[in-house]
Amino acid sequence: MREIEQALSWIREDEEMVSELEAVRMIGLPQACLSAGWIRNYVWDKLHGYDTRTPLNDRDVIYYDPSRTDEQEEKEHEETLRKLLRRNGWSVKNQARMHRRNGQAEPYSSVEDAMKRWPETATATGVRLTQEGRLEWIAPHGSGDLFGLLVRRSPYFRDPAFFLARVRTKGWLARWPKLRLIQEPIGQENQEEG
């Protein structure tokens, strides 16, 4: 819990991150949060003592609205965020439709349910700014791997080859040399809470 409070404190002190959280809150998407590399990379940068943030490919905004699953709406939300902040690189995804893209029969029930199925436990992390101005931390696998600098396949992600290829392609182990890659056979995943 202390580590999460420290990360939230870092975010509160970062004007750019706060403005991004405010913009996401402003567009009013249900269960919306900034997630994945937006928070993972930031925490890993801080834990490595880097003075500047690793550049992002995009800012991952996820939300959950089963009544509006048109992909075009996501593009419109990306454009709204781009105009609000005059910043490119937004990826907005309604997790209510992502089960189809991911080849799963059953729809996800929430943002957290969708995040559980992401490839890595440390990536399944998000932050939202509530209407009351409070930062809310979301981590369905706990935060132990994120703060422990562990790259571990999610217990719900069943493709170890894809996971390993993703880790290599992203270049995480070179960018953050303190990271440790944890490889576990399917069915032997560590499900500890952080």
| DSSP symbols for 144-181 | HHHHTTEEEB-TT---HHHHHHHHHHHTHHHHSTT-EE
Residue 87 confidence (pLDDT): 86
Q: Which residue has the tokens 């290599």?
A: 168
pLDDT score recorded for residue 194: 33
Q: What is the pLDDT of residue 186?
A: 59
Distances from the Cα of 35 to the Cα of 31, 106, 119, 177, 183, angstroms: 12, 22, 13, 22, 23
Euclidean distance between CA atoms 23 and 33, whole angstroms: 11
pLDDT on residue 192: 39
Q: Show the domains of the chain with their CATH numbers.
A: 2-182 (3.30.460.10)
Predicted local distance difference test score (pLDDT) of residue 99: 75
Q: What is the pLDDT of residues 176-191, one digit of tens each?
A: 999 999 987 655 555 4
Neighbours of 171 (CB within 10 A): 9
CB atoms within 10 A of CB 93: 20
Q: For residues 39 and 35, give the distance between their C-alpha atoms in angstroms, rounded to a whole number.
A: 6
pTM, full prediction? 0.90
Kindly give the parts of the chain with pLDDT less than 70.
100, 102-105, 185-194
pLDDT of residue 191: 42
